[in-house]
Amino acid sequence: MLPKYKRILLKLSGESLMGDKNFGLDSAVIAQYAKDIKQITEMGVQVALVIGGGNIYRGMNEAETGIERAQGDYMGMLATVINGMAVQSGLEKAGVYTRLQSAIKMEQIAEPYIRRRAMRHLEKGRVVIFGAGTGNPYFTTDTAGSLRAIEIKADVILKGTRVDGIYSADPEKDPTAKKYDKISFSDCISQKLSVMDMTAFTLCMENNLPIIVFDMNQPGNLMRVVTGEKVGTLVS
């Protein structure tokens, strides 16, 4: 089986790393993700990763936390580096070569983000994990994912979530919600479907970068998406 995509950016939420826990990291989930990622790297797919930090810190609400928004966002960026290190460790345990690059300089634990170096790593078959978001407050890790995907010339963004695609309403709350196999960027906007935040979404739309939203917690799904099977929802 030949992969449909040569270079992908996989966006994972921090919450997905919690598994059934309420906080922190679940080693079983990380091991499963590492196994799935290894499968596709063995097919020659070049993989970059952006991971959120919501399992460790969600700093959006200044009124509740009393922490200024910009400060809270930097704390969130540090949380993404912790997650990046955990996933890096899981991947290396599975025998996958990795590089962790951070948008905030932390020489002891990560390379600085350098676009050309990241692309070189990908060409050499290493999985590159982009930590610390964009390095700027007021931007989400979704935006970091879109930005990095465009910078490294990825063919597609794969957004691994807990649901199996995009629905007309929240399927957990509304049993009549309809799942889309394929939807256009403009339809997502007109129907106010929250695929990503607006900044991230607009970046993809302007650069004709397709997004596939799929259930990452189903083992083997990543392989199915990469080989072009109809899994999840394609936004293009």
User: What domain range is 142 assigned to?
Assistant: 7-235
| Overall average pLDDT of the 119-140 stretch | 97
pLDDT confidence bin for 50, thresholds 50/70/90 = very high
For residue 66, give the 3-state DSSP assignment. coil
Q: What is the CA radius of gyration of the chain?
A: 17
234 beta partners: 182, 212
In a domain, 1, yes or no: no
Length of the chain: 236
Note the pLDDT of residue 60.
Answer: 65
pLDDT exceeds cutoff 80 at 137:
yes
Per-residue pLDDT tens over the stretch 157-189: 999 998 899 999 888 888 899 999 999 999 999
For the chain, percent of residues with pLDDT exceeding 90: 87
For residue 189, which of 156, 171, 166 has the smallest C-alpha distance?
166
| Overall average pLDDT of the 8-26 stretch | 94
7 beta partners: 46
User: Comparing 56-65, 141-150, 188-197, 216-225, which segment has the lowest mean pLDDT?
Assistant: 56-65
Q: Which distant-in-sequence residues (6+ apart) come within 8 Å of 183 by Cβ? A: 166, 193, 233, 234, 235
Token pair for 130: 């982009």
pLDDT exceeds cutoff 70 at 5:
yes
Q: Mean of the per-residue pLDDT values for the chain?
A: 95
For residue 178, which of 191, 159, 196, 197 has the smallest C-alpha distance?
191
In a domain, 32, yes or no: yes
Amino acid sitting at position 105: K
Token pair for 39: 């499968």
In a domain, 118, yes or no: yes
Note the pLDDT of residue 1.
Answer: 80
215 beta partners: 161
- On the 0-12 / 13-18 / 19+ scale of CB atoms within 10 A, 231 is buried
pLDDT exceeds cutoff 80 at 99:
yes
For residue 40, which of 16, 13, 7 has the smallest C-alpha distance?
7
Place of tokens 């991230």: 200
Q: How many helices (H) and strands (E) does the chain have?
A: 8, 11
Helix runs in 94-197, H state only: 115-123, 141-151, 185-190
For residue 48, which of 143, 155, 207 has the smallest C-alpha distance?
155
Per-residue pLDDT tens over the stretch 57-86: 976 678 888 899 999 999 999 999 999 999
In a domain, 80, yes or no: yes
pLDDT exceeds cutoff 70 at 104:
yes
Helix 141-151 and helix 115-123, axial crossing angle in degrees, nearest 10:
70
User: Of the segments 58-67, 165-174, 193-202, 215-224, which one has the largest average pLDDT value?
Assistant: 215-224
In a domain, 220, yes or no: yes
In a domain, 2, yes or no: no
CA distance linking residue 90 with residue 112, whole number of Å? 21
For the chain, percent of residues with pLDDT exceeding 70: 99
Q: Report how many domains make up the chain.
A: 1
Q: Please answer whether residues 178 and 113 qualify as being in contact, where contact means their C-beta atoms are separated by less than 8 angstroms.
A: no
Note the pLDDT of residue 59.
Answer: 66
CATH number (domain holding residue 141): 3.40.1160.10
